[in-house]
């Protein structure tokens, strides 16, 4: 095919009447037009590609800046959360310590109160026992006095006869309860 093309070209040159030089050849102009087309298209494409790459680069830079800002915010939020956690932990420790101290004080008060109540009830029991002993002792004394009076009356009646001595005996017997109680 190359030979046919060359022959066709040679025939055209013969018909035209000769060789016009380098710029007279239509293939040269086609080649120049092609090169100009490629250069202009390349320039347009290059401009579009660089614009596209610049936009992409700007978007990536913005995404990196946003990521850095979000990272810094996350670090700040983490620090704030750790600070809050530390404060809450310290506050909880304080509350626990206070509660333990309060429990200790309440146990001490309860123990003291219990000991006081035990001592009070013991004293009440001792007072009741003392009152019971005193009442029993008084009852025994009163019974002894009554028995002694009855024995004395009956003895005096048997030993002392009637008459004047009887009045003195009755008077002495009447005074006995007052003197013995």
Q: How far is C-alpha 41 from the chain's CA centre? A: 71
Q: Which residue has the higher pLDDT, 165 or 97?
A: 97
- 17 falls within a domain: yes
- 2 falls within a domain: no
The residue segments making up the domain with residue 174 are 8-180
- pLDDT confidence of residue 16: 56
- 102 falls within a domain: yes
- pLDDT confidence of residue 98: 94
- 124 falls within a domain: yes
pLDDT single digits (tens) 166-176: 677 677 777 77
Phi-psi bin for 122: left (phi > 0), alpha (psi -120 to 50), beta?
alpha
Mean pLDDT of the 106-115 span: 92
- pLDDT confidence of residue 147: 83
Alpha-carbon distance of 137 to 90, in angstroms, equals 69
Report how far apart, in Å, the C-alpha atoms of 152 and of each of 140, 142, 169, 171, 177 are.
Answer: 18, 15, 10, 13, 12
Share of the chain above pLDDT 70, in %: 80
Sign of the Cα torsion 109, 113, 119, 123 reads positive
- 3 falls within a domain: no
Say whether pTM exceeds 0.75: no
**Which of 162, 57, 95 lies closest to 87 in space, CA to CA?**
95
- 59 falls within a domain: yes
| CA atoms within 13 Å, Cβ hemisphere of 56 | 6
Domain count, the chain: 1
């Amino acid at each position: 095919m190359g030979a046919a093309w060359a022959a066709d070209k040679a025939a055209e040159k013969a018909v035209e009447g000769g060789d016009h030089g380098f710029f007279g050849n239509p293939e040269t102009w086609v080649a120049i037009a092609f090169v100009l087309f490629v250069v202009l298209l390349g320039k347009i494409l290059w401009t579009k590609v660089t614009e596209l790459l610049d936009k992409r680069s700007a978007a990536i830079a913005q995404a990196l800046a946003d990521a850095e800002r979000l990272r810094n915010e996350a670090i700040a939020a983490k620090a704030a959360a750790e600070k809050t956690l530390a404060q809450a932990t310290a506050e909880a420790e304080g509350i626990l310590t206070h509660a333990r101290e309060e429990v200790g004080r309440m146990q001490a008060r309860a123990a003291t109160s219990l000991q006081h109540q035990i001592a009070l009830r013991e004293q009440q029991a001792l007072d009741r026992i003392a009152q019971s002993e005193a009442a029993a002792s008084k009852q025994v004394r009163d019974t002894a006095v009554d028995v002694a009076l009855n024995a004395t009356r009956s003895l005096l009646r048997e030993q002392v006869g009637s008459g004047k001595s009887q009045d003195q005996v009755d008077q002495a017997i009447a005074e006995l309860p007052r003197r013995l109680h």
